[in-house]
Amino acid sequence: MASKVIQAYYDDDDVLMHAVKKVKAARHHIEEVYCPFPVHGLDKAMGLAPTRIAITSFMYGCLGLTVAIVMMNYIMIQDWPQDIGGKPSFSYIENMPAFVPVMFEMTVFFAAHLMVITFYLRSRLWPFKKAENPDPRSTDDHFIMEIELHGDEAALTDLLRETGAVEINRVEK
């Protein structure tokens, strides 16, 4: 069964923020808001949970640091120890100051690259995926708020007109 949504179009981000607050106060569920640029505070106004992506970034950085330590210990101490500049080649701890730049770079490398992959997978963005924006104007100069229809369509339409919607459409999803 197809669900019905109401799409309200706005041409100003301040009007959109005011509309989101009024719609949430009227206890309607906002499915999605499509914006041509990030709108500060929109996630809080919609009642979205804070992101946990920073936690994954920290874990990826720890993984990179661990890989760097294990890699340098194996390569420089166990597998092929060399006397470089008179430094002892039998102890990782004594050589650690020379390894700090490599540890830092591997930490940043793992955190950055794995975060990009995580973001794309979490957002369901992969190569050759078709765009999901409902209207090309949402990438230029219009903001679109999608509200799932559960009940009186006329009352919801009137509420959206009061909030300053420039266009209102009913769409089958």
- Span 75-133, pLDDT tens digits: 888 888 877 777 667 778 888 888 899 999 999 999 999 999 999 998 888 888 888 88
- What residue ranges do the domains of the chain occupy? 4-49+132-172, 53-122
Could you tell me which of 44, 169, 58 has the C-alpha nearest to residue 110? Answer: 58
Domain 4-49+132-172 in CATH 1.10.357:
no
Q: Which residue has the tokens 């920073």?
A: 54
Contacts of 87 (CB under 8 A, 6+ apart): 94, 95, 98
Model confidence over 39-85: pLDDT tens digits? 999 999 999 988 888 999 999 999 999 999 999 999 888 888 877 77
Is the pTM higher than 0.75? The answer reads no
